[in-house]
Every structure is written in C-alpha cells, then in structure tokens.
C-alpha cells in the first residue's frame, strides 16, 4: 500500500509470523492506516508506528506466556494500584473508541437522554410530593381528625366546634389537638385593597404543629375569646413581601376585614407554601358555648408515642356516645349523630396532603420507567449491531491472550461511559424541562415547592445509568466474547451473512419495545377517551362569555342584612353599566366549585317520624337573573325578582334533580319546603317553590349533579344574608373588561378587595386540570415510546438488509422480482411487530386496571381503544419497514457481488 511504513510492517510480520492471526492483524492495521492516510498521511504514519510497536510488544508477551497484559496497561511494579490502573485505562480506551464513532455515540446518548430525562423529571416530582417528609417536627405523628356519616352517604367532612371541644377535654390519644378553619380576609391598609388567605385557629395550633416563631409569639388562650382584643400571627411571606421584613413589626396594627389587628408574631418560612395562609388569627369561639352542629372546622392532632391513626380513631368513637349522653343536643342533631351513623375519622396529615395525586404520580413514574426500558432496548440493539462490526477486533484481542473477563469488562466500560454521557444529558434535559412541567400543573399537585433536582434525584439518575449500562451492555459483552477467535474471524468478513442467533437477539429487543409501546399507547388512549367523555358531559350551564369575581363584605362596614342587600343592588347596577355587559347576577357558590352547604330540610306532605333524620339537601343563594346570566334553563315558573327580597313572602327555586327525587312525575310549583324540620326547637317558615330549573354541575364534572334548592337574597332565607358573594357578568361580545369590572366595584366601595377574577371557561378547564396533566404526561411518554419503537424496528431491518446485501443481490440476479424482495422485508417487520403486539396486548390487559381510579365513563378493557392503538402501532411499524424494504429492492446484483 503506497505510503505505508514498510520497515515497520516487515518487522511486524517477522514477529507475528505467517499465521492467520498475523495476516488478520496486518489487514486491520492496513485498513485503518488507509483511512487515516487519506486525511493526513503524516499523522497516519505516526499512528502506524505507535500501533505497530504495541502489537509487537503484545506478540512477544504471547511467545513468553505473559499475555494477560496490554502494552498500554503495563506498568512497573510499585507504581499505583494495578486494578485501578486497569480500570482507568479501560475508561480511557472506551472514550477513545466512542470518539471514533460519533454517529453511534450521539444517537445512543440522545436516546438514553430522553429516557433518563423523563424518569428524572417525574421522579423529582414524586420525590418532592410523595417521598419527602413534611417540614414539621416528627411529621409522622401529625394527623387530621375528620367526621364520617355513612348513613347519609358522607365519607369525610369537617368537624363541629362542639365536638372538637368535647374531644379536647376527654381524649387520651393525642399530645395536642387543635382546631382551625381556612378562609380569606380583606386587607385594606397596605395599598390596593385585596383579599388574602387566612387561618382561624385555636391557641394550641402552633404547638401542635411544632411551629416556633421567628419573631414574637403565638396567641394565648385568653386571646382566643369572642371579646378579646384582635391579634394575628403573620406568615414569613407576608412579613417579607408586605412589611419589607420590618424588625419592629411586633405591635404593628393592620386592618383585617376592617378591624384593627395587632401583629404579635412572625411564623417561620418553612410554613409557607404556594396556597398557605398569610395571616393566622384566633377562632374567637367561646369554648364553653361553641357552635353546635356547625361542621365546617378542621382539626389537627399530634399522636402520642406508640399510638397509630387507626387506634386514635378507635379511641374517639366512645367519646361520640358520651357526647350524645352528656351534651344537650337538638332532636335533629341527635338524629344526625345516631341515624347518620356518625363516626370520627383520623388520617395521617401527609396522606391528606398528597392522597389525591398519589395514584396518578406513581402511574406516571411507571410509565416513564417503561420509556427508559424502550430507550435501553434501542441502545442495546445499537450495541449488538456495533458488536457485529467489532467481531474481528474482539477475536484478535482474544487470540492475543486477552481473557474473556477483560473483554467483557471492556465492553461494559464502554456501556457505562455511554450511559454516563446519556444520563448527564438526561439530567440536563430534566433540569430544563422541570419548570415547564411544574407550570403545566399549577395548583393541582401539593408541595410543588419541594420539587427540585436534589441528591436523591441525582442518585436515581446514577442508578438508572448503571442499570441502563447493564441492560444494553451485558448482552453483547457476553455474546461476542464467547465464540472462538478463529471462528469469529472466519464469519466476520465483509461478505458474511446475518447469523440467525444474533438476528433473534435483536428481534427480541424490538418485540419488547413494541410490547411496552403498545401498553403505553393503550393507557394514553384510555385517558384520551375519558377526557373526551369528560368534556362532553352536560354542564347544565353555558360558560361562554361569563366573567366571575368574588367579594367578601366585612362585618364592620356592613353590619346589617340591609347593608349587604344595598351593596348588592348598587354593585349589580354599576356592573350592568359596564360596556359589553349583557346581564349580571350573584351567587354564594359558583358551579363546579364543590362546597355548596347542605343541611336538613323538610318537604310539605312528607312528614319526618320522631327520631328520624330529615333529608340533607344542598342549597345556594342567588340574586335575580342568575339563571339567565349562567344560561341555566328555566323549565317552569319564574326567576327571582327584586320584590322577593322585600315582600316578606319566602320563595325558592329547585332544580330538576331535586324535583325528580322528592316529587317524581309531579309539578313542583307551589310545593313548600323549609330548613330544618317540624321537630326543631325553632323551625323555619315554609318557602314556596316558584320555579324549576335545569340541573347544573356543582361538584366537578366527574361526580353526578346533586339536587339543589336556590334561595333568594332574603335576610331570613338561610339564617342570614351571605357576606361572601361571587358575581357573574355575561358579555355581549367575546369578553367583559376586567378593568371595567374593578372600577365598577370601587365606584360602590373604594376599599372593597376583589379576588378570584376569572372566566367560567377557565373554571371549567381548571376542574379537569389534574386529569389533563396526567393525560398529557402519559401521552408524551406514549409518543416517545412509539417513536423509539419505530426507530428500533427501522434500525433492525436496515441492518438486516445491509447484512443480506449479497444474498438479496444473488436472488435478484437469479430473477427474483424487486417487489417480492420488498414484500419479504416488510413481512419480516410485520412478523416481529405482531409478536410484540400480542405480548403488549396481554400486558395492557393486566396493567390498565391500575387506571380504573382515574378513568371516566371508560372501561379499562375498552375494545375500541385496544383495537385502535394496536392498529395505529402496526401501521407505524409497517411504515418503519418500508424504507429498508425499498432499499433491499433497489440492491444492484453487480454491486452486491463485489462485497466479497
């Protein structure tokens, strides 16, 4: 060969002798020298001299029997740890080898980066939300205390203050038990009026949670009384953002709901969360005369050592029986506790915090784990294909005395280096994608502030790298270091054909990819079908062009019902004058916002026997034109009008669900209903049904609509005119001006804060945002799986065609039609895909049952979804087979003969 260093080649031939190993080594050196010489002859000669010297050194070691070491790893005794030196040299050799194959390295690294990045992103969310402990001291002992009334169909609801104080006096299972209620208060002395989150708590709330103030103190028992001076503890966020971290904040006055309130403490920063309270205030409840039967308060407790949540609940059950015996409760209340089968419920605090998202997050983590497996299968196939091309190299190393363990170590080292590179890229991809992922799920996943790429996440990434390397590196390492060196040299020539055993290994990996991809596609398809069913659900109202906002009228500014009614009339008049507004109304609880209150009602003509529990019916208070503004169909009768709030006659409107339940097949107009029951100490007056409307969804789209009674804005309608109102304004055009609405409110009361301004379309979207997040994430994972599976099939078929070039050329030369050759390749891909689909269907049948809890009106074994996803994956696989098939059909018989 021109330009080859002839003297060195002659010396090399003399050392090695004329045997087959010598000729093979010379051929390898000659081939690579030719490639290098084409680019840089001088550098090629230097490389040849260096490699030839190494080969001669190695050959001498063979003759002397010291063949276990390479000349590059040979070190004089006493210079470093030999094992570490060997490993280091393996790493350097692996890096050099991967640098020589940039296309392979780039494709494999990106494939791994996608899989590892997906796993790291979702695991960082799982770690932050589910695995990290709560920031409180001894968080595993913190519990929530709830109520349960299975006789009424209520599985979990808040506690009543009278029951809480009875528990607190007599319980033996908690070190501390505190009561609290989340709410919102108007803040009116720090610039623009606004509404902020608040928590009203008993004085022992902070000791129960283990909270120590950054500054000041918590409130005392004597400050938690109805007539006590108003005090508050502010959050660290409030102190920093609104009070500029003022060190002299203690004793400062702020106005909450129009009342001057003294700041006595600043809570620590770890208590701040995205939706946490900004101020903490006392409950101002007299523990000797607490409200009875007002189930709107939460309780948190710290378990005593050795007491579980279940044991705590069991310890409270006897107290309910004592409460019924020792406390004078009304007949309805007693019936509620007895006939309603009332029982306390105790849940670990963390379970309540993360319970709703636990199942979806674990499902998503399992999903991206499958994506990583598919990525590893792809890279394993690349390694197998690459190992086919390295047979001669491995055979030469073996013939020169390298042990099988050293060859396996070398291949695994390359796999580890590649996995490390892919994992590093994956972590970088995850760090870049994580903010977008968190923005995709605002407000639906708790503890998002705890999500980050921390030590635990990096550890998982490292474990993923090691396992990935073992998955795609071990198979080629074992397969291609076991064959005889001479046999490998004979069958590794350029004119060789595809070995059936090797082809089966590659096909098996593609089968696994296809099966996993189908499982993910079926799961994604089920969620998409559920989402379509969810969005097709009849809302019962028309959300288009409706803007909503909320106001809370403080007692100090609006002490009487007449003041509230006057504000409402003035505000609705001002809003109606805003350009583009077609109609305006108000309601206590918006549709889809679960939380409409429920209480005992009596229906005329349906008497309640003594000791029996009256039916519990949910109700809302609305202003005139509510049904028109919300697009709720008025089926019979009339809407409320202004006279309903002044004529002294009590009127109500009921929805179709309630009429069908209590007056089936009858005209509900003229029927009478009242709060409470005839046996109550002070029964409410009867109200007459004047209208029948369609049934709106109140508790989200997934739950069936409930019966509802609508009261007008009458001060005696439900024991008081509501102070917290959501206003709804329907626009003539695309939207109502938010700024115009604000100016209208402030024209009525310049100090009135406005909160929760959003459109009804946004509320509808928000009601399904958790489902949407799960569906999109699983859909992205399924899309990645589909793409990786198609790439894997394409790669296997392409390599198979390349290995069968001579065979195909001979067939074409003997008269085979190109279409027949093309069909053969496509059928080969179809066969591989069919096996993978069969396995994937079996896996999907077993795994989709885990989606049951998040599906909506969709069976986990929905035949249409299974058939559609199977057909879609099969079509994609056929398309992936077409390019290799067309390449096979275009093989030139003449060129194929030259491959020898």
* Predicted pLDDT of residue 839: 92
β-pair type (634-637, 546-552): unpaired
3 state DSSP class of 726: strand
Query: How large is the C-alpha radius of gyration of the chain?
Result: 38
- Cα 204 to Cα 143: distance, rounded to the nearest angstrom: 15
Query: In terms of DSSP bridges, do strands 634-637 and 298-303 run parallel, antiparallel, or are they unpaired?
Result: unpaired
Q: What is the DSSP letter of 143?
A: E
Residue 509 pLDDT? 79
Tokens of 17: 């002798």
420-442 confidence digits (pLDDT tens): 888 888 888 888 888 888 777 76
CB-CB neighbours of 537 under 10 Å? 16
What's the rounded mean pLDDT across residues 385-392? 65
Higher pLDDT, 480 or 183: 183
Q: What was the pLDDT predicted at 393?
A: 64
CA–CA gap between residue 655 and residue 634 (Å, rounded): 9
Asked if 857 and 527 count as a contact pair (C-beta separation under 8 A), the reply is: no
Model confidence pLDDT, tens digit, residues 569-586:
899 999 999 988 999 999
Task: Give residue 156's pLDDT.
Answer: 83
Q: What span, in angstroms and rounded, lies between the C-alpha atoms of 187 and 29?
A: 82
- Measured between alpha carbons, how far is residue 511 from residues 128, 507, 796, 822, 837 in Å? 35, 6, 11, 21, 8
pLDDT tens figures, 710-766? 998 764 444 567 888 999 999 887 777 888 888 999 999 888 888 889 999 888 888
Q: If pLDDT is split at 50, 70 and 90, which confidence band does 610 have?
A: low
Mean pLDDT of 72-100: 64
Task: Name the most confidently modeled range: 32-46, 81-95, 733-747.
Answer: 733-747
CA distance 55 to 462: 37
Model confidence band, residue 20 (pLDDT cutoffs 50, 70, 90): very low
Q: Is the pLDDT of residue 447 over 70?
A: yes
Q: How far apart are CA 376 and CA 602, in angstroms?
A: 66
Question: What letter does residue 159 receive in the DSSP assignment?
Answer: B
Q: Is the pLDDT of residue 258 over 90?
A: no
The pLDDT value recorded for residue 178 is 95
Mean pLDDT confidence for 350-374: 84
| pLDDT bracket for residue 130 (50, 70, 90) | confident
Give the tokens for residue 180.
């609290």
Confidence of residue 546 (pLDDT cuts 50, 70, 90): very high
| Position 83 pLDDT exceeds 50 | yes
Confidence of residue 547 (pLDDT cuts 50, 70, 90): very high
**Contact partners, residue 66, CB within 8 Å, separation at least 6:** none
Cα angle 348, 349, 353 (rounded to 5 degrees) comes to 120
198-230 confidence digits (pLDDT tens): 999 999 999 999 999 999 999 999 999 998 999
Percent of the chain with pLDDT over 90: 24
pLDDT reading at 559 higher than 90: no
Distance CA(630)–CA(548), nearest Å, equals 11
pLDDT value of position 172: 92
Under the banding of pLDDT at 50, 70 and 90, the label for residue 23 is very low
Exposed e or buried b per residue across 617-642, where buried means at least 16 C-beta atoms within 10 angstroms of its C-beta: bbbbbbbbbbbebbbbeeebbebbee
- Which tokens belong to 775? 């569906």
Predicted pLDDT at 717: 43
222-232 pLDDT tens trace: 999 998 999 99
3-state SS track over 631-700: CCCEEEECCCCHHHHCCCCCEEEEEHHHHHHHCCCCCCCCCEEEECCCCCCCCCCCEEEEEEECCCCCCC
Find out whether 559 and 258 touch, Cβ atoms under 8 Å.
no
| Rounded mean pLDDT, 142-153 | 86
d(C-alpha 293, C-alpha 770), whole Å: 33
Mean pLDDT of the chain: 80
Quickly list H helices, 71-101. Answer: 82-100
Return the exposure string of 548-568: e unless at least 16 CB atoms fall within 10 Å of the residue's CB, then b: bbbbbbbeebbeebeebbebb
> What is the Cα–Cα distance from 22 to 24, expressed in whole angstroms?
5
């Amino acid at each position: 060969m021109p330009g080859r260093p002839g003297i060195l080649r002659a010396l090399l031939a003399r050392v090695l002798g004329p045997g087959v190993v010598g000729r093979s080594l010379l051929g390898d050196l000659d081939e690579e020298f030719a490639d290098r010489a084409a680019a840089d002859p001088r550098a090629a000669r230097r490389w040849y001299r260096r490699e030839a010297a190494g080969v001669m050194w190695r050959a001498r070691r063979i003759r002397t029997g010291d063949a276990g070491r390479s000349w590059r790893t040979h070190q004089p005794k006493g210079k470093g740890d030999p094992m570490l030196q060997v490993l280091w040299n393996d790493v350097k050799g692996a890096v050099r080898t991967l640098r020589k194959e940039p296309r392979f390295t780039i494709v494999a690294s990106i494939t791994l980066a996608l899989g590892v990045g997906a796993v790291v992103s979702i695991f960082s969310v799982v770690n932050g939300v589910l695995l990290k402990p709560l920031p409180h001291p001894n968080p595993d002992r913190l519990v929530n205390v709830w109520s349960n009334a299975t006789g009424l169909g209520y599985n979990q609801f808040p506690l009543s203050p009278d029951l809480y104080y009875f528990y607190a006096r007599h319980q033996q299972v908690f070190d501390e038990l505190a009561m609290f209620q989340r709410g919102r208060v108007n803040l009116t002395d720090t610039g623009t009026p606004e509404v902020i989150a608040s928590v009203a708590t008993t004085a022992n709330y902070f000791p129960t949670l283990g909270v120590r103030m950054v500054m000041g103190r918590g409130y005392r028992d004597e400050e938690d009384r109805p007539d006590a001076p108003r005090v508050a503890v502010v959050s660290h966020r409030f102190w920093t953002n609104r009070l500029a971290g003022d060190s002299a904040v203690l004793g400062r006055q702020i106005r909450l709901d129009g009342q001057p309130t003294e700041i006595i403490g600043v809570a620590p920063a770890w208590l701040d969360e995205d939706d946490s309270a900004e101020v903490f205030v006392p409950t101002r409840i007299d523990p000797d005369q607490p409200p009875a039967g007002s189930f709107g308060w939460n309780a948190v407790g710290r378990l005593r050592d050795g007491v579980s949540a279940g044991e705590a609940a069991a310890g409270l059950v006897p107290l309910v029986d004592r409460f019924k015996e020792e406390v004078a409760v009304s007949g309805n209340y007693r019936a509620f506790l007895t006939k309603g089968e009332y029982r306390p419920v105790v849940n670990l605090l963390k379970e309540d915090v993360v319970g709703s998202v636990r199942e979806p997050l674990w499902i998503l983590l399992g999903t991206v784990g499958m994506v990583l497996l598919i990525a590893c299968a792809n890279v394993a196939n690349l390694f197998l294909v690459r190992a086919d091309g390295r047979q001669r190299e491995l055979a030469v190393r073996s013939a020169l005395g390298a042990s099988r363990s050293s060859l396996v170590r070398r291949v695994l080292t390359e796999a580890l280096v590649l996995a490390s590179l892919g994992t590093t890229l994956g972590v970088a991809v995850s760090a870049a994608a994580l903010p977008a992922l968190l923005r995709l799920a605002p407000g639906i996943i708790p503890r998002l502030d705890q999500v980050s790429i921390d030590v635990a996440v990096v550890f998982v990434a490292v474990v993923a790298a090691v396992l990935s390397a073992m998955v795609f590196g071990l198979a080629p390492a074992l397969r291609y270091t076991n064959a005889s060196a001479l046999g490998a040299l004979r069958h590794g020539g350029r004119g060789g054909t595809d070995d059936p055993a090797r082809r089966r290994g590659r096909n098996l990996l593609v089968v696994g990819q296809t099966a996993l991809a189908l499982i993910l596609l079926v799961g994604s398809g089920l969620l998409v079908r559920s989402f379509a069913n969810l969005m097709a659900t009849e809302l019962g109202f028309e959300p288009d062009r409706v803007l909503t906002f909320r106001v809370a009228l403080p007692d100090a500014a609006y002490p009487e019902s007449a003041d509230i009614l006057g504000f409402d009339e003035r505000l609705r008049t001002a809003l109606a004058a805003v350009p583009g507004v077609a109609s305006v109304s108000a309601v206590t609880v918006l549709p889809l916002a679960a939380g409409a209150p429920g209480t005992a009602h009596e229906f005329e003509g349906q008497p309640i026997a003594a000791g029996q529990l009256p039916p519990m019916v949910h109700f809302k208070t609305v202003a005139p034109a509510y049904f028109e503004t919300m697009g709720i169909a008025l089926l019979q009768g009339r809407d409320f009008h202004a006279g309903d709030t002044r004529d002294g006659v009590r009127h109500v409107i009921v929805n179709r669900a309630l009429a069908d339940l209590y007056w089936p097949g009858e005209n509900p107009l003229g029927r009478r209903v009242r709060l409470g029951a005839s046996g109550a100490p002070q029964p409410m007056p009867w109200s007459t049904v004047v209208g029948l409307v369609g049934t709106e969804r109140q508790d989200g789209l997934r739950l069936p609509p409930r019966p509802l009674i609508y009261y007008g804005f009458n001060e005696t309608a439900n024991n008081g005119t509501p102070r917290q109102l959501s206003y709804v304004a329907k626009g003539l055009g695309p939207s109502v001006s938010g700024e115009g609405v604000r100016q209208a409110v402030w024209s009525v009361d310049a100090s009135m804060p406005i909160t929760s301004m959003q459109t009804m379309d946004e509320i509808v979207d928000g009601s399904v945002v958790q489902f949407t997040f799960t569906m999109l994430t699983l859909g992205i994972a399924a899309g990645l799986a589909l793409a990786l599976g198609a790439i894997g099939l394409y790669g296997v078929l392409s390599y198979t065609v390349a290995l069968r070039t001579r065979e195909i050329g001979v067939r074409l030369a003997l008269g085979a039609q190109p279409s027949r050759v093309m069909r053969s390749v496509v059928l080969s891909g179809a066969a591989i895909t069919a096996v993978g689909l069969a396995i994937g269907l079996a896996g999907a049948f077993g795994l989709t049952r885990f989606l049951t809890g998040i599906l909506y009106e969709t069976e986990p074994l929905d035949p249409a979804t299974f058939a559609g996803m199977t057909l879609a994956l099969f079509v994609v696989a056929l398309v992936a087979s077409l390019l290799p098939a067309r390449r096979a059909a275009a093989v030139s018989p003449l060129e194929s003969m030259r491959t020898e």
